[in-house]
Structure formats: structure tokens, C-alpha cells
Chain A
Amino acid sequence: VLVDGNRLPVLDVRPRPSSRGDALVPAISAASILAKVHRDRWCAELHAAVPDYGFAATRVTARPSIWQALARARRLPGAPQAALRRWRRWAEMTRAVAHISSRDNALLKDLRRLAQDHGLPQAGPVWLEGDHLCRAALARGLRPALALFSESNLAVAPLELRNALLKA
């Protein structure tokens, strides 16, 4: 899948970033117009029913008020539920995954320190590595604060583990 920009979503197939793809790749330009027109219809429908949440804004995923409202009430009373389900799915899919490609990335530096700390912490962040440990954590109902994958492993990792990226 060709993706506009360099922030890749989690998909069942391997995404390939395309910088300025919406301007340079005709398939991305066309898909972008279709998707936005489609999305704007549900947003208009939601905005007409519950005007206080800012659904009419174009950069809705960046608006914390909507996420906070949805976290408080999974079903906004009065909102058309089919449109709300589509919106939620779209917002989750487009919530981009960070891509670390610089050795000097601050998060990467913290992770190096954390991964090399072999003590058993009483509280605070702890690094679990490998699919066995991560699966065991999910099976016990633990939710990771952060899920990390190497680039080549992301496409082949089981969906159950990749979904942790969205839920983290």
C-alpha cells in the first residue's frame, strides 16, 4: 500500500511511504479525494446531531475534545451510531504510528537505557522483549504503554501483537 507522507498506519499488508504522495502519485490523489468526501459526509451527519464536539473540523484526530468525549461515553447520546462507528474506525486507522529513523531520537535514547537496565523495577517503566513475553503480557490483560517493532518485523508480526500499536 502506498501511503501519503512518512507516518505509516498499521495494515495487514506492508505500507510504503511516499513523501508528497498526494501531489505526485495519481492513485493517492484520487483516493485522498474519495476518502475525504466520504469522511466529510459522516462528519457533517455527526455535527448536525451533536454540534458541540467539533466533528465538522477537518483535522478531527487532532482534537482532544472528541477523544475525551468518546472515552467518557462510548456512545454519544443523540449521535447517529452508524456514522459514529465509522468515524471511530477511521480515526483509529489514521492515528499514525511514529517512525523512528534517527539514532538521536529522544525516545530511542530512553529505550536504549531502559532495555539495558536489567534490574527488576518495583514500579515505573519496564522493557519486555520478544513475541513470547509480549503475548504473555497481553494474555494477562496488561496493556503496553508503548509497543515497538523493527521495520521489517512489523509486516510479518501476528495481527494480535500489531494491534497493540493502536491500543497502546
Chain B
Amino acid sequence: VVADALWAGISALESPARMGFVLDLPRRRA
């Protein structure tokens, strides 16, 4: 949970839902 004042540092969007996920994409096999 990020303090409201710090959220603008992460996001430039004006999205009303101030949330996000970090996904870890698997490396594709060659």
C-alpha cells in the first residue's frame, strides 16, 4: 500500500482506480 502523496511518482495516468500489478513474465524457451 502506497501513501497517496507518493502515488503520482509511480503513475502519470489520471486513472480513478489507483492500483496496479507487477507481473513477472517468464522467459520464453528458445
Contacts and interface: CB of A to CB of B under 8 A. Distances in A.
Contacts of B11: 115, 129
A150 B5 CA distance: 9
A100 B25 contact: no
Contact of A126 (B1, B9, B25): B25
B18 A153 contact: yes
A99 B24 CA distance: 21
Interface in B2-30: 2-4, 6-7, 9-11, 13, 15, 17-28
A108 B6 contact: yes
A29 B21 CA distance: 36
Contact of A100 (B3, B17, B21, B26): B3
Interface string A128-142: 111111100100001
- By size class, the interface of chain A is 35 or more
Nearest to A144: B21
A108 B10 CA distance: 8
Interface of B: 1-4, 6-7, 9-11, 13, 15, 17-28
Closest 3 CB pairs of A and B: A144-B21, A150-B18, A131-B17
Interface of A: 8, 97-101, 103, 108, 111-112, 114-115, 121-134, 137, 142, 144-154, 157, 161, 164, 168
30 contacts: A100-B6, A101-B3, A101-B6, A103-B9, A108-B10, A111-B10, A114-B22, A123-B25, A123-B26, A125-B23, A127-B21, A128-B20, A128-B22, A130-B13, A131-B19, A133-B20, A134-B19, A137-B21, A145-B21, A145-B23, A146-B22, A148-B1, A148-B20, A148-B21, A149-B1, A149-B2, A149-B18, A150-B4, A151-B2, A153-B18
